[in-house]
Structure 1
Amino acid sequence: MRDDTSGYVVVANWRDLDHPQAGGAELVCDEVAADLARRGHRVVLLTSSVAGRPREEEVHGYTVRRRGGRFTVYAWALLWLLLHRRSVRAVIDSQNGIPFFSPLAVRRSTPCLLLLHHVHQDQFALYFPRPVAAVGRFLESTVSRAVYGTRTVIAVSPSTRQGAREILQLRGEVKIVPPGWRVSLDLATSSPVKTDHPSVVSVGRLVPHKRTGMTIEAVAALRATIPDITLDVVGGGTELEGLKRLAADLGVDDIVTFRPHCSNEERDQVVAASWLCVNASEGEGWGISVIEANALGTPVVAYARPGLRDSIQHGTNGWLIDDAQPLANAAAPLLAELAAPAHRAALAAACHSWALNFTWSAMTGRIWSAVEQETRRLSLPHPERRTGSDVSTVVRVPAELVPVDWQPRLRHGDVVSTGPGWVEVFLANADTSASAAVMRRVGIVDDGRIEYRVARRRDHLAPLAG
């Protein structure tokens, strides 16, 4: 049942899923908004206008309010927040290069979480003239740092957290919360049916930083030794016509199929049947398309760039290659290995298993836990509003030291795993000193056998998995 007495939970994003240029950020916002609505919250998505769509409508249990264009949506969203500030319970401010600067419009006690997909400092110049790009970089870094202060940041990957600290120099607590995936459930299997010939697929918007042309060039080079190779390019965008010309110029337009308008089910069928998914992007926030390919039993090869080096575990669900390595040279031996049906089947099972670590429900739960923690933090006197640590800890405890009914005293983001004679706990945003205090709080007495270690990259992505 929806709780209409506690105020709006506002998700602000410059586009929604009905926008013709929607991508991964829009999928994240839709899934989180829908999940929060299912949990009983009154959710509003503030976004830009879309031709042919109403200004207001109900979608997946939440309300979409559309106003403004590519740039004016930010001013309109701030005005809406200002006018409704007394009835806003929380804001999830989705930053796509430029955030909405929501703290300027709501009460100081209202939690505003900055949802950071990836850092855009190097990408502004790809899409805007130099003066506009400079303004974008200034807004994303200096202005964001001033406006959000010590407010909590939700980063979708360790790479994004690193960018938030080292490049944007944001000061708030940064929590790593990876997204889930959305594919046709009847195709999400550990044993997909693959094509009889070597097949490659590329999935994503056809925009400059995705570098899809590199994939086409690689397939053209591979054709000399793999004559029956094919490539499906799934997705549309501003680069479509140029990529078609590139395929024709390279003489591979007969083996490259462009699918700019295919349905989600058709996309999933193509990906599930392919031997290998190639992602040549210069960087992602996380790599939802990677995890979706994995869910469909298809491994991914990509350059070891931000986000992709997080979503791909080298040798498990795909492969990471160095920037200097030609894509064709990297893909050739991989396709040779995948020619063996038993090897394809083993990789498909490993890929699917990795994808199962990531769900939208887990992402929403961690975000809402962060909202509640931020609400409590902002209710404290100003000098006591300390932020948490970026360090997380894995604690291994002998099973005989664990009391009965202790888990409810942990936070939502903490994860428990058990084994023969031991219990492991992933404590998010708690260093080893704080973790020792947590153990005491839940009733575990350290007799000298409890082990503490700083969490590694994989622990943050799929706590205690594998």
Structure 2
Amino acid sequence: MTDRPLRILIATDTFAPDVNGAAKFTTRLAARLTARGHEVHVVASALGRGRHGTRVEEHEGQRFSVHRLRSLLYPGHEWLRFASPWRVWQNAASLLDALRPDVVHFQSHLVLGRAFSTEAKKRGIRVIGTNHLMFENLMDHSNIPRALHAPAVDFAWGDAATVFGRCDVVTTPTRRSADYLERKTGLTGVHAISCGLPGDEYTPNPERQHGRIVFVGRVTTEKRLDTLVRAVAQLPDDLDWHLDIVGGGDQIDELAALARDLHVADRVTLTGFVSDTELRERLRAAEVFAMPSTAELQSIATMEAMATGLPVVAADAMALPHLVRDGANGWLFRPDDATDMAEKLERVLRLSDEEYGAFQRHSLEIVAPHDIETTITAFERLYRGEDIRDPETRVELAD
């Protein structure tokens, strides 16, 4: 391919207005590609019964075509919808024949990625696949008996290997998650390309917000937020702390009950869903960001907090050690260990102003290479069939 504008089809099982990392990344990807002059078509699930069809939608200030397919609400889930599996193959074939894209980029292999990768390969269309999933995260929503979770996860990774095996290129957000995907599927050559962040949209607060702890993300089981609530309940009263859990999900009532049981309900606020503007304000109103999840392939929420200049206390698991340097911009704690998390939170809250300022600077330095425009350039080159070297995101701190 030359440097002409491309026609790009992005197939995704989750897209705006869904609130999760994969949906946020895919929305930004489509918008930024459109801003660069490419013709972008997103294929996603319809938001409800009778809401399927093709229309131009506006996201992140850009207008592009979104093809919403008939969908089903996943049993027991309040928002997760998947394209109707008995229609998706026909949908994929007809859309590919009508649009004739230069490249198909899927964001999940479960439904749309499975169909579009198969039909694209039949037509000789280049296929890029990005993995945002850890199947261990899905088990609590799967309705599969707990005793069968391990074999179900093994089967799921085997299935993923088949779908991703059709791709010309496979990517995932970090080197740790790429190594993980290769280990689970037997694939090789997986590229590590950050989801990226529009850093200019996040502004550090020059005034330290003493005692304010914040989490941003889905309020669901896999985020391990019970560990966070149990941790803050162990903090000394003299810290005058307050915890904001920002986001919606099916664990809000359970966490509110836990806070009451631990006699800290007056110090824990569960906001539910908030706008992007309020989310950024909540980050600016905090002193430290807390991430107890043990299954983050990157954690856009943690990067957003760092771009706001916050130190981070996070679980020592999966990709989080790529973002958190012990004693530099925060601390890692033993996964699911509320006492260790409390101790690390207390360390940050008791930093001197000089030490706290250094932690802020380090968070900004570490997140700086994750610029969204670097990410878009990397994907543009992959779409054109170029060989690339993965963008370097590891930085040496200045002090």
Amino acid at match of 1:114: G
- 1:247-287 deviation per Cα after TM superposition (whole angstroms, max 9, x unaligned): 11111111111111322222212212211111000111101
Residue of structure 1 in register with 2:113 after alignment: 100
Q: TM-score, normalised by structure 1?
A: 0.73
Are 1:97 and 1:119, in contact at CA under 8 Å, matched by a contact in 2? no
Matched, 1:237 2:249: yes
Structure 1's 109 and 293: CA in aligned 2 closer, same or farther, altered over 3 A? same
Gaps of 5+ in 1: 375-410, 414-427, 430-458
Structure 1's 136 and 43: CA in aligned 2 closer, same or farther, altered over 3 A? farther
Aligned partner of 2:67 among 65, 68, 87: 65
Residue of structure 1 in register with 2:128 after alignment: 113
Amino acid at match of 1:125: M
Are 1:277 and 1:300, in contact at CA under 8 Å, matched by a contact in 2? yes
- The whole-number CA distance in structure 2 between the counterparts of 1:137 and 1:8 is 35
**Matched position secondary structure for 1:130:** coil
- The whole-number CA distance in structure 1 between the counterparts of 2:31 and 2:86 is 25
Structure 1's 18 and 136: CA in aligned 2 closer, same or farther, altered over 3 A? farther
Residue of structure 2 in register with 1:437 after alignment: none
Are 1:7 and 1:42, in contact at CA under 8 Å, matched by a contact in 2? yes
Residue of structure 2 in register with 1:80 after alignment: 91
* CA RMSD, 1 decimal: 2.8
Matched, 1:319 2:319: no
Which piece of structure 1 moves more, 302-311 or 77-86? 77-86
- The whole-number CA distance in structure 2 between the counterparts of 1:207 and 1:96 is 22
**Matched position secondary structure for 1:274:** coil
Structure 1's 42 and 138: CA in aligned 2 closer, same or farther, altered over 3 A? farther
Matched, 1:148 2:164: yes
Amino acid at match of 1:204: G
Residue of structure 2 in register with 1:180 after alignment: 196
**Matched position secondary structure for 1:356:** helix
Are 1:216 and 1:247, in contact at CA under 8 Å, matched by a contact in 2? yes
- The whole-number CA distance in structure 2 between the counterparts of 1:135 and 1:93 is 26
Aligned-residue offset at 1:7: 6.8
Amino acid at match of 2:44: T
Alignment of 1:12-91 (within 5 A): 12-19=11-18, 22-51=19-48, 55=53, 56-59=55-58, 60-67=62-69, 68-69=71-72, 70-73=81-84, 76-86=87-97, 87-91=100-104
Residue of structure 2 in register with 1:341 after alignment: 353
Percent identity between matched residues is 22
Aligned-residue offset at 1:206: 0.4
Aligned-residue offset at 1:71: 3.5
Aligned partner of 1:331 among 345, 348, 353: 345
- The whole-number CA distance in structure 1 between the counterparts of 2:302 and 2:356 is 17
Residue of structure 1 in register with 2:78 after alignment: none
Alignment of 1:282-301 (within 5 A): 282-301=294-313
**Matched position secondary structure for 1:45:** strand
- The whole-number CA distance in structure 2 between the counterparts of 1:208 and 1:202 is 14
Structure 1's 43 and 334: CA in aligned 2 closer, same or farther, altered over 3 A? same
Greater gyration radius: 1
**Matched position secondary structure for 1:461:** coil
Which piece of structure 1 moves more, 144-153 or 286-295? 144-153
Aligned-residue offset at 1:119: 2.8
**Matched position secondary structure for 1:221:** coil
Aligned partner of 2:373 among 348, 361, 364: 361
Which piece of structure 1 moves more, 240-249 or 58-67? 58-67
Amino acid at match of 1:63: S
- The whole-number CA distance in structure 2 between the counterparts of 1:226 and 1:465 is 32
- 1:11-38 deviation per Cα after TM superposition (whole angstroms, max 9, x unaligned): 111121113xx21100110111111112
Aligned-residue offset at 1:115: 0.7
Matched, 1:371 2:386: no
Amino acid at match of 2:64: Y
Which piece of structure 1 moves more, 107-116 or 30-39? 107-116
- The whole-number CA distance in structure 1 between the counterparts of 2:252 and 2:199 is 24
- The whole-number CA distance in structure 2 between the counterparts of 1:36 and 1:464 is 30
Amino acid at match of 1:116: N
Which piece of structure 1 moves more, 39-48 or 306-315? 306-315
Amino acid at match of 1:178: S
Are 1:286 and 1:308, in contact at CA under 8 Å, matched by a contact in 2? yes
Aligned residues: 373
Which piece of structure 1 moves more, 350-359 or 44-53? 44-53
Structure 1's 45 and 282: CA in aligned 2 closer, same or farther, altered over 3 A? same
Structure 1's 348 and 143: CA in aligned 2 closer, same or farther, altered over 3 A? same
Residue of structure 2 in register with 1:445 after alignment: none
- 1:285-319 deviation per Cα after TM superposition (whole angstroms, max 9, x unaligned): 10111111011110111111112122323333322
Q: TM-score, normalised by structure 2?
A: 0.84
Gaps of 5+ in 2: 73-80
Amino acid at match of 1:14: D
Aligned-residue offset at 1:462: 4.1
Structure 1's 183 and 465: CA in aligned 2 closer, same or farther, altered over 3 A? closer
